[in-house]
Structure formats: structure tokens, C-alpha cells
Amino acid sequence: MAKPIGIFDSGLGGLTVARAIRTAFSTEDLVYLGDTARVPYGTRSAGTVVKYAIACAERLLSSDIKLLVVACNTASGVALGELQSRLDIPVVGVIEPGARAGVKATRSGRIGILATAGTVASGAYERAIHRENDTMNVFARPAPLFVPLAEEGWVTGEVPRLAARRYLGPLADADVDTIVLGCTHYPLLSKTIHEVAAELLGHDVTIVDSAQATVETLTDILTPTPPGLELPGSLRILVTDLPGQFGFAASRFLGQPTQGLDIQAIDL
Ligand code: DGL
């Protein structure tokens, strides 16, 4: 039997990555682990996030996964190297792909990053972008309120626009032409971020979704299913806490209702 792909995130936001993988590789079986009991990771110390990331990875290994996708930017920023050295399967994070896509998209060489405080403090996007091209100017800013706004489904209108204006101000001052969404939750606010950034800058800006960029990286690793053998892959969701509002929040990130999905609460 084909082995599944393991994906983990601090919570439900990484379902945006699971959704992008399902769209591109519809025959793959996925096991998603959301550490909903310990979210958010973005405000915690690097040492704590590394510890949590190892626990998530080990739990997914017990499902005999063939590949691990670290969908959480914060965990990718501080724990990817540790996971890659511990695991003997490929481990893919979201930062390298997002950084590469940002470098490819920019014309001016001025790239903005929006991410959690933990990801910004890790400097992981700057390092990844400079590995691609060391002439790039990178401006990384934390945008913490975007996480609860995405969870609330409050992604358009005056409140998210106000938050966007505040967070994007320094990126507009830096005159970036590309903004990488370096957090699982931010793609839900992509339209608002795009509009407000263009207003502040006075010109259009390219928005890079690191979830989408990660899927493009997986094309190098995954073998396409032979024609005639395609069957829709399964999605299993493991969560460390199953709150009452789970279905409402999860369906927004996943882009489909969660009824009928295999969802299980686990202890780590
Ligand atoms: N998943 C986190 C990330 O992509 C965002 C939410 C959190 O802070 O845990 O950085």
C-alpha cells in the first residue's frame, strides 16, 4: 500500500498547505496533524517550538509517512534542520519555497515578508532569500493580528484593512514590489493584503503564497501516479485538541466542509 504524506502545523492554518497539496496531487494520501492544544507557536521561544515540532514529527512517523511537510512557518524557521537530521525521510519546510518564489517574482530586488514574531526573529526568510541571491533587500515584519482574524473568518472589511494598513506601512516605506505571506493563516487575507499594499505603495505588488510555492517544490520529490491507477487520496486529520468551533475554522482553511472527514483527537 502507498505510504501517506505527513503534514503538521501548530493548528489549523496548515490546512491551507494540505489543501494546496490535495489540489496538485489528488491521489496522495495525507495525514495532517494540527497541534491545536498548543497553538500558537509564533509567540513562543525557538527552543519550545523545536520541542513541539519533534513531538509532531514523531507522531506522524508512527503513521509510516514517506515524506514530512512542515506546514508551519514558525516551525520551519526554527526546527527544520533538526527534523532533517533526525528523520530518514525527506522533510520539506515552507520557507525555502516561499523565499525562492519571492526572489523569482521581484523586479526591484526589494522583498517584504509578513510572518509571526517567531519567524521574523528567526531570520529564516532573510537567510533563505540571501542563499538564492545575496543582492536582495529583505524587510520582514510581524503581523500577529492576522492570525486571529483569519481564524474568525474576518478577512475583508474595515477591521482587517486597518490591521493591514498598520502592518504594511513599513513595507510600503521600504518600497517593496513583492510580499511573501510567511504564515499559514495569511493566505486567507491575501485579497485585503494585496489591495491595501497597492493603495499604500501606489503601484501593484506581487503577493507570494508560501503554501502554493511549497507544492511546486514537491513536484521534484513526488512521483506522479501512473495513468489508470488514479484514485482520490484520503485525508486524515489528527488534532491535539478538538474545540467546539473546530469544523467552522477547519473548513475555512481547507476550503471544504469537514463533515465526513476522518478527524481524531490525540495526545502528544
Ligand atoms: N502556523 C503558524 C505559522 O505559520 C501561525 C500560527 C501560530 O503562531 O502558531 O507561523
Do residues 17 and 122 both lie within one domain? no
Do residues 118 and 31 both lie within one domain? no
183 is catalytic: yes
Expressed in angstroms, the distance from the first to the final Cα of the chain is 26
User: Which of 16, 39, 48 for a ligand 1 pocket mutation test, highest count of atoms within 8 Å of Cβ?
Assistant: 39
Cα–Cα–Cα angle for 259, 261, 266, nearest 5°? 115
Per-residue pLDDT at 23: 87
Cα–Cα–Cα angle for 93, 99, 104, nearest 5°? 135
Q: State the chain's mean pLDDT as an integer.
A: 94
Residue 61, exposed/middle/buried by CB under 10 A (0-12, 13-18, 19+)? middle
Q: Cell digits for 102?
A: 519571492
CA distance 197 to 177: 9
The number of residues making up the chain comes to 268
Per the listing, cell 497539496 goes with 21
DSSP alpha helix (H) spans, 88-132 = 95-105, 117-122, 124-132
Do residues 85 and 113 both lie within one domain? no
Q: What is the 1 CA–ligand 1 centroid distance (Å)?
A: 33
Q: What is the 249 CA–ligand 1 centroid distance (Å)?
A: 15
Q: Look up the domain containing 151 and give its range.
A: 95-210
Per-residue pLDDT at 24: 87
- Count of structural domains, the chain: 2
Do residues 18 and 78 both lie within one domain? yes
Per-residue pLDDT reduced to its tens digit, 73-132: 999 999 999 999 999 999 999 999 999 999 999 999 999 999 999 999 999 999 999 999
Do residues 226 and 178 both lie within one domain? no
Do residues 84 and 155 both lie within one domain? no
CA distance 7 to 265: 16
Q: Are 6 and 65 in contact (CB under 8 A)?
A: yes
Rounded to a whole number of angstroms, the CA Rg of the chain reads 18
Do residues 144 and 201 both lie within one domain? yes
The CATH number for 166's domain is: 3.40.50.1860
**Closest ligand 1 atom to 75 CA:** 10
CA distance 265 to 268: 10
Question: Which among 50, 72, 208, 263 is annotated as catalytic?
Answer: 72
CA distance 141 to 106: 18
H/E run at residue 27: none
Do residues 144 and 13 both lie within one domain? no
Residue % of the chain over a pLDDT of 70 = 97
- pTM of the entire predicted model: 0.94
Per-residue pLDDT reduced to its tens digit, 154-208: 999 999 999 999 999 999 999 999 999 999 999 999 999 999 999 999 999 999 9
CA distance 79 to 239: 20
Residue 184 Cβ inside 6 Å of ligand 1? The answer reads yes
Distances (CA, A) of 268 to 33, 54, 255: 10, 10, 27
Do residues 52 and 150 both lie within one domain? no
CA distance 241 to 264: 9
Do residues 227 and 128 both lie within one domain? no
Residue 10 Cβ inside 6 Å of ligand 1? The answer reads yes
Do residues 226 and 200 both lie within one domain? no
Per-residue pLDDT at 246: 82
Query: In sequence order, which residues have a C-beta less than 8 Å from that of residue 205 and are 6 or more positions away?
Result: 176, 177, 178, 179, 194, 197, 198
Residue % of the chain over a pLDDT of 90 = 84
Per-residue pLDDT at 230: 65
Per-residue pLDDT at 245: 78
Please, what's the largest Cα pairwise distance for the chain?
Answer: 54
Query: In sequence order, which residues have a C-beta less than 8 Å from that of residue 108 and are 6 or more positions away?
Result: 175, 176, 177
Task: Name the residue with the closest Cα to ligand 1, atom 6.
Answer: 40
Per-residue pLDDT at 114: 98
